[in-house]
């Protein structure tokens, strides 16, 4: 049976056939249905190729028409178009803008042009682009500091390594910067499938040429479900320019990447932008690679954070609980030093030793370069000092959807096997790590603290 052909192929065959037909100039008009008196004498010039093309065209058109009647090859539905519902948020002249993903020099120059003094703090990271803004204090939407003694703190990435990193971590930063018009996109396959899924919506997808995706605001990025449209770059711009709040004050969002599969995503590379640790996948972008390391599918999750109740708090043993409360009070400025071991393991990336030989000094815990307690954002003591809400003391490690390389299983064997010694300090009535500072302590039954880990930092509220 002849395979059906679509309308485009049929039209091309017709055009090719017409191009090979030679008609004698000044040929007399022949009326349809009337005998042609010169039919026996006129020569019509039709090449063998044209004749074959016409034959193929007739057969093809017949098969195409029969196929349409049988429902074998329907016309593709027109692709819905429209503007994405995600919005890039604008800030007033007196508000702090969002610089997430900006180059260090550009963010500093823009702030200085606004008459603001800037303090730049390098934030040690594992794998990321270098000298890219990872957060600010105050956060986007907060009043811009105007007093002479006020300043803006800009955290920039300072990766310990860029070789041997997962492409997903570098591509996450590239996607964010591309969405904001700050750099090129990651490498795509020649064709890319774009998709989204969410509550009460169909799972929609389209396949587009990568050449049409070089502009983050190009219409090719848009995927629609009826009159509702979404786009990956628009979602990232929306999240990066929102005003995120904690305790009624604007705080800086972070770029978050999880390298474990979230429910329903079928991908291990998931990116979101948020303050705190949202449910996974929540509002996020995730993608897959082909065999050559190029992105071939990019999807959006439009799931809101599910309603959940705080997990039950299991109290630690009396000695551990007392020691944890003393550590919290001391971190927040009290004089009484908790009971430390002679050397305390400090699980903290950054400019600090993994072992703290003088744990009784508050200024020996910070991982920032040139910024210490209580202003450093990567300091277990500073995080608890900056977090003003009630903290609970609970047994066991924290459970965080967006946690990476900080689970007990990834720690040295001695600490990984000491799960009974772990006590966590966490904001009261919160689910998992969705907001606020989280610190874990390794405490022996007699109350001696021998390990400290900052799981989630608390950025200053501004």
Q: Which helix (H) or strand (E) holds 384?
A: helix 380-386
Q: What is the pLDDT of residue 14?
A: 44
What is d(CA 175, CA 367) in angstroms, rounded to the nearest whole number?
Answer: 28
**Alpha-carbon torsion, ordered 241, 243, 246, 250, to 10 deg:** 100
Who contacts 147 (Cβ-Cβ below 8 Å, separation ≥6)?
Answer: none
Question: Average pLDDT of the chain?
Answer: 76
Tokens of 171: 């591509």
Q: Provide the 10 A C-beta neighbour count for residue 79.
A: 12
pLDDT at 282: 78
User: What are the helix (H) ranges across 403-447?
Assistant: 413-416
> In which element (H, E) is residue 383 found?
helix 380-386
228: which 2 tokens?
A: 């509702």
Q: Look at phi and psi of residue 94 and say left if phi exceeds 0, alpha if psi is from -120 to 50, else beta.
A: alpha
Answer whether residue 175 shows pLDDT above 80: yes
What is the C-alpha separation between 319 and 323, in angstroms, rounded? 6
pLDDT digits (tens, 9 = 90+) for 339-365: 999 999 988 755 567 889 999 988 888
Out of 223-227, 386-390, 396-400, 450-454, least confident range:
396-400
Give the CA count within 13 Å in the CB-facing half-sphere of 455: 32
CB atoms within 10 A of CB 429: 11
pLDDT digits (tens, 9 = 90+) for 2-16: 444 554 444 444 444
Helices (H), 333-430: 380-386, 413-416
Is the distance from CB of 278 to CB of 402 less than 8 angstroms?
yes
Question: Of 267, 296, 263, 260, whose CA–CA distance to 282 is shortest?
Answer: 263
Q: Judge whether residue 147 has pLDDT over 60.
A: yes
Alpha-carbon span 185 to 188, nearest angstrom: 8
Q: Which of 423, 427, 429 is nearest to 438 (CA)?
A: 427
Q: How far, in Å, CA of 386 to CA of 459, rounded?
A: 7
The answer to whether the beta carbons of residues 263 and 401 sit under 8 Å apart is no
Tens digit of pLDDT for each residue in 413-460?
A: 888 888 899 999 988 876 556 566 789 999 999 999 999 988 766 543
Q: How far apart are alpha carbons 430 and 309 in whole angstroms?
A: 8
Strands 438-443, 355-356: parallel, antiparallel or unpaired by DSSP? Answer: unpaired
Give CA torsion, residues 367, 368, 374, 378, to 10 deg. Answer: -50
Residues in the chain, overall count: 462
Residue 327 backbone phi and psi in degrees, to 5 = -65, -45
36-80 pLDDT, tens digit per residue, is 434 333 333 233 333 333 333 333 434 334 343 333 434 444 555
Structure tokens at 211: 């050449």
Mean pLDDT of all residues in 279-300: 87
Query: CB neighbours (10 Å) of residue 309?
Result: 7
CA atoms within 13 A on the CB side of 453: 24
Span of 275-279, 341-345, 395-399 with lowest mean pLDDT: 275-279
**Which residue reads 């039919």 in tokens?**
39
Q: Which residue did the predictor score with more confidence, 233 or 74?
A: 233
Compute CA distances 248 → 9, 332, 334, 430, whole Å: 61, 21, 26, 16
Q: Rounded to 5 degrees, what are φ and ψ at 420?
A: -70, -20
Q: Are 286 and 299 in contact (CB under 8 A)?
A: yes
Alpha helices in 198-331 (DSSP H): 232-240, 318-331
């Amino acid at each position: 049976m002849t395979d059906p052909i679509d309308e485009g192929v049929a039209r091309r065959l017709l055009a090719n056939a017409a191009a090979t037909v030679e008609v004698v100039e000044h040929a007399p008009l022949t009326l349809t249905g009337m005998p042609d008196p010169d039919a026996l004498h006129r020569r019509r010039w039709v090449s063998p190729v044209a004749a074959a093309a016409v034959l193929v065209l007739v057969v093809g058109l017949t098969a195409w028409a029969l196929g349409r009647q049988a429902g074998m090859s329907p016309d593709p539905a027109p692709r819905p178009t429209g503007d994405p519902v995600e919005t890039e948020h604008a800030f007033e002249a007196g508000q702090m803008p969002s610089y997430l993903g900006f180059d260090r020099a550009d963010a500093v120059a823009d702030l200085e042009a606004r008459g603001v003094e800037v303090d730049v703090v390098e934030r040690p990271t594992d794998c990321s682009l270098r000298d890219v803004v990872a957060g600010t204090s105050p956060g986007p939407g907060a009043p811009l500091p105007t007093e002479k003694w006020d300043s803006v703190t800009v955290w920039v990435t300072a990766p310990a390594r860029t070789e041997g990193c997962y492409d997903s971590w570098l591509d996450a930063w590239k996607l964010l910067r591309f969405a904001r018009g700050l750099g090129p996109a990651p490498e795509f396959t020649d064709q890319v499938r774009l998709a989204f899924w969410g509550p009460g919506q169909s799972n929609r997808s389209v396949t587009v040429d990568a050449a049409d995706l070089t502009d983050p605001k190009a219409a090719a990025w848009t995927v629609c479900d009826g009159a509702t449209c979404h786009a990956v770059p628009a979602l990232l711009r929306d999240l990066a320019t929102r005003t995120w709040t904690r305790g009624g004050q604007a705080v800086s969002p972070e770029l978050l990447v999880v390298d474990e599969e979230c429910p329903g995503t079928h991908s291990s590379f998931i990116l979101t932008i948020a303050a705190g640790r949202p449910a996974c996948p929540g509002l996020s972008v995730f993608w897959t690679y082909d065999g050559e390391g190029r992105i071939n599918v990019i999807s959006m999750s439009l799931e809101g954070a599910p309603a959940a109740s705080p997990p039950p708090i299991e109290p630690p043993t009396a000695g551990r609980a007392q020691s944890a409360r003393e550590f919290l009070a001391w971190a927040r400025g009290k004089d009484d030093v908790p009971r430390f071991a002679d050397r305390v393991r400090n699980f903290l990336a950054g400019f600090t030793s993994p072992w703290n030989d003088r744990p009784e000094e508050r200024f020996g815990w910070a991982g920032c370069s040139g910024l210490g307690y209580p202003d450093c954002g990567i300091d277990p003591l500073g995080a608890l000092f900056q977090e003003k809400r009630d903290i609970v003391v609970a047994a066991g490690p924290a459970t965080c959807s967006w946690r990476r390389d900080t689970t007990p299983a990834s720690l040295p064997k001695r600490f990984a096997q000491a799960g009974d010694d772990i006590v966590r300090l966490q904001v009261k009535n919160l689910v998992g790590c969705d907001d606020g500072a989280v610190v874990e302590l390794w405490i022996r039954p007699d109350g001696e603290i021998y390990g400290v880990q900052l799981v989630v930092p608390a950025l200053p509220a501004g």
